[in-house]
Amino acid sequence: MIQIPHGQAVPALGQGTWKMGERAARAAEEAAVLRLGIELGLTLIDTAEIYASGGAERVVAQAIAGQREKVFLVSKVAPQNASAAGTIRACEASLRRLGTEVLDLYLLHWPGAHPFRETLAGFEKLIAQGKIRHWGVSNFDPQAMREIFALPAGTACATNQVLYHPDARGVEFDLLPWSRAHAMPIMAYSPLGQGGRLLRSRALAQVAERHNATPAQIALAWSLRDGNTISIPKTANPERLRENAGALEIRLSAEDLAVIDAAHKPPARKQALEML
Ligand SMILES: NC(=O)c1ccc[n+]([C@@H]2O[C@H](COP(=O)([O-])OP(=O)(O)OC[C@H]3O[C@@H](n4cnc5c(N)ncnc54)[C@H](OP(=O)(O)O)[C@@H]3O)[C@@H](O)[C@H]2O)c1
């Protein structure tokens, strides 16, 4: 479990939903995998209004029906909607699609044209109305984080959801130390590198062999290794879901981490924040 600022402890390993809800014929299957995940303790579910134009939120609605209280539900407002009034409207539409009255965490998906103070005013009103419990951001670099924290009530920001996996480590140079210094966990998205080249890494395979595990499990254990990061892999496959949940049992040793560092180098200098 990971402690969020001004809030409760949330599960370190959650479930992503990008690409869910794109095909009606698969929705029931996708919802069933999310339900299995909830049973296995992956009770943090991450979605967004833009995923499948609301379709992913509808899949999540099917998954959480009758068990809303078991889930820590995260959704996101798209930057073009993130004026004070637009944030409230977008949240209300998400709540309707999700079939719930409250979001546990509502994030600004990435910085856009609306000033942060406007979006924050929308978030605060939503909290006052009981429609969200916490707010946070996504794809914010250290400069944008400093701007948020400089606003009145800005320090209530619960998390910053960013791209983070062994082939995308730029955040380790500045954003992670900044977040640690402000006692704010980050949420790692695409922790499996979207299931592509990363999972064919020889270093991950070598470490996986030592643990009798899979490269995907090692990638997830790596993302969780500091005890202060939430990781939200996505799968719509029940076998992979069980596999991913197994990552919680794996503790990487200093030797394992050295093998991964040698092949997937930590950043030596500041890099622009990578995002998808
Ligand atoms: N804030 C943002 O801007 C942002 C951006 C990107 C993502 N996100 C969030 O983060 C979540 C995760 O990121 P992501 O979906 O981009 O990528 P990811 O979780 O790194 O990878 C998902 C891909 O990996 C496959 N996969 C899952 N488990 C696997 C396993 N054990 N072995 C092999 N392949 C596996 C999945 O396919 P199957 O489904 O077929 O298993 C899917 O194609 C998203 O779903 C979304 O909720 C947020």
The Cα-based distances of 174 to 25, 177, 228 in angstroms read 43, 6, 15
Percent of the chain past pLDDT 90, that is, above it, reads: 99
b or e along 17-30 (b: 16 or more beta carbons within 10 Å of the residue's beta carbon)?
Answer: bbbbbeeeeebeeb
pLDDT of amino acid 100: 98
Tens-digit pLDDT profile for residues 69-121: 999 999 999 999 999 999 999 999 999 999 999 999 999 999 999 999 999 99
Average pLDDT over residues 56-62: 98
Q: Is the pLDDT of residue 5 over 90?
A: no
Residue of minimum CA distance from atom 8 in ligand 1: 189
51 catalytic per annotation: yes
pLDDT of amino acid 66: 98
Model confidence at 186, pLDDT cuts 50, 70, 90, reads very high
Between the CA of 108 and the centroid of ligand 1 the distance, in Å, is: 19
* Residue 126 contacts residue 94 (beta carbons within 8 Å): no
Dihedral angle of Cα 139, 90, 11, 258, to the nearest 10 degrees = -10
* Residue 209 contacts residue 236 (beta carbons within 8 Å): no
Average pLDDT over residues 3-29: 95
Between the CA of 276 and the centroid of ligand 1 the distance, in Å, is: 12
Residue of minimum CA distance from atom 16 in ligand 1: 190
Cα gap 181→164, rounded to integer Å:
19
- Number of Cβ atoms within 10 Å of the Cβ of 138: 24
Maximal CA-CA distance, the chain: 53
